[in-house]
Homo-oligomer: A and B are copies of this chain.
Amino acid sequence: MKLITAIVRPEKLEAIREGLESYGVQGLTVSSASGYGRQRGYTEVYRGAEYNVDLLPKIRVEVLATDEQADDILDVIIASSNTGRAGDGKVWTVDVFEAVRVRTGERGVAAI
């Protein structure tokens, strides 16, 4: 199993959800985050010096998936969150050792 974590533009949440549902993803978790990438957020010059004004608002979307689905899900997330402009986001995948569906106690891929 894999956990796919995407840090993307908040306004892309709906497109990502739709893309994932069309693909057949059965669940996801969303939370708020902020951050910066290579452009270091917005930069402003004040009295001659440069300042990072702020961390840019992003959302975190997480999807627990089988190993087989993980690469497709990565592609769906990328396709639905890409605008071509700086700040589109990062997505990463980690191995999941165990997963449980609380209500039923199912484990492993049955729990997803």
A residues whose Cβ falls under 8 Å from a Cβ of B: 1-3, 6-8, 17, 21, 26-38, 40, 52, 55, 58, 60, 64, 70-71, 74, 77-78, 81-103, 105, 111
Q: Which of B58, B70, B102 contacts A78 (CB 8 A)?
A: B102
Known contacts being A31-B31, A32-B31, A36-B28, is A97 close to B94, with CB within 8 Å? Answer: yes
Q: Which residues of B contact A27 (CB under 8 A)?
A: 35-38, 90
Q: Which of B1, B21, B30, B93 contacts A35 (CB 8 A)?
A: B30
Contact A98–B102 (Cβ < 8 Å): no
Q: Which residues of B contact A77 (CB under 8 A)?
A: 102
Contact B3–A92 (Cβ < 8 Å): yes
Known contacts being A33-B30, A35-B30, A94-B94, is A82 close to B60, with CB within 8 Å? Answer: no
Q: Which residues of B contact A86 (CB under 8 A)?
A: 103
